[in-house]
Structure 1
């Protein structure tokens, strides 16, 4: 396992313990002169999507990239695809095992069908600027208790036998993120959309997408030019910009 050089102009901050790397990002964003990765060896109050908690025992990976993208706010969500693609690249580089990893829309990385990692994007308003926190959590050594109806969590060491240090993963992740971010900036979202679909779990199979107010059952037919989920339902084809996705366990698992 050999990491590419650390990306030029990107900072690195290693903390022994913090409440949340995204919370730390919000505290320091206004003082930063450029993008910076914040890694915590222990996170005591991590959080996931929709305000849910994120269990993070010692030995797991918890990091946030603080960015200041110069683009309309509606484009910021595309960083979840940058992060997912980069994280899968980093994990493959660390383990040497491309089979088994897959991406679950919109922002989870799966290993052998179980949830290995999650990504949380949060905007950070500062005077005269809008920053973005890209939070990433990976179960390197410990998997949390499963939640009813959700994809069962897994950890990297139990599934692969690879004991990966969080800072070693960060040294692989940061260059991979910079590489995919460069593609987004140069070529737009389409190359990332195509790459995501090549790695997507359950493409062409039935899934359930739950928003705050609605539940949609249908066939996962892709993602559109804005990153929204495309579902073919009994009522026709729809797009879902944001939702929690659940799998039909009667369907085959292509990523196992």
Structure 2
């Protein structure tokens, strides 16, 4: 197994805690799923369980938490898909925090924009990092990572858990279905970065995006997303529909020009794929 990495947790906490007072940062050598671990803490609180958590914190502690796993063994993506993350080759983390939102539409798109802009600041050049609606990050036409957002009620509020998985280096496991479209890693974009450095680069922009989203929703992110929109102008299938992707609206819904007119596709349990067989996206 890879040696433990140096995460600089104290310095990272000092940078982030002013944005999320009371937050904690934890790094685990191994976890099944960082999202599942944080969700279970919240659910344990709902059951009014005050037993010690297997991850070191009391289950009823609902303060913001950034949980990192050096090796995630049973990571999850949308629609029950698995996300494989080898030790040392990936950055896998989840951030849990309470959020008050009247409209959650487009949250994963805003998160994707924040992460992509942190790793590749916007310029006049065509971006290498692109976003595939609703939750994937691609590099040079290949899958780099994904975002999984889950929410759960807790103590009269709602906790959101934002899970992020990014390939930092290495190669995908043989015949891994999540990389049918090709495998990309951040080593191709910024070869000097390891997983702790990537976390330090994206954590603050991610938190700021979540705080901004609470007041402005997705609309302020619409143009930033359009710049990196992988599907824009391409033929795609979305469930039973097929058509030409026309970008996203101010609510973060995919707009699809079909034979029967312009249709909107909301997030949720629906798979969106590039129509051409050679471009099919998982």
For this structure pair, what is the TM-score category when the shorter chain's length is used for normalisation?
Answer: 0.7 to 0.9
Aligned residue for 1:18? Answer: 31
**Is the aligned partner of 1:155 residue 2:180?**
no
1:156-196 CA distances to partner (integer Å, 9 max, x unpaired)? 22x34615322221211111112323432343321112211
Contact 1:77–1:121 under 8 Å retained in 2: no
Q: TM-score, normalised by structure 1?
A: 0.83
Write the mapping of 1:105-116 to structure 2, written as runs, cut at 5 A: 105-116=133-144
Q: Which moved more, 1:3-12 or 1:198-207?
A: 3-12
Q: Partners in 1 of 2:133 and 2:234 — Cα distance?
A: 13
Any gaps of 5 or more consecutive residues in structure 2?
Answer: 1-11, 46-59
Q: CA deviation at 1:118?
A: 0.5
Write the mapping of 1:31-110 to structure 2, written as runs, cut at 5 A: 31-59=60-88, 60-72=90-102, 75-92=103-120, 99-110=127-138
Aligned residue for 1:177? Answer: 206
RMSD, aligned CA: 2.7
Q: Partners in 2 of 1:150 and 1:218 — Cα distance?
A: 22
Any gaps of 5 or more consecutive residues in structure 1?
Answer: none
1:13–1:106 Cα change, 3 Å = same
Q: TM-score, normalised by structure 2?
A: 0.76
Contact 1:111–1:154 under 8 Å retained in 2: yes
Aligned residue for 2:265? Answer: 240
Which of residues 238, 243, 256 in structure 2 aligns to 1:218? 243
Q: Partners in 2 of 1:127 and 1:55 — Cα distance?
A: 33
1:251–1:43 Cα change, 3 Å = closer
SS of alignment partner, residue 66 of structure 1: strand
Give the number of aligned pairs.
240
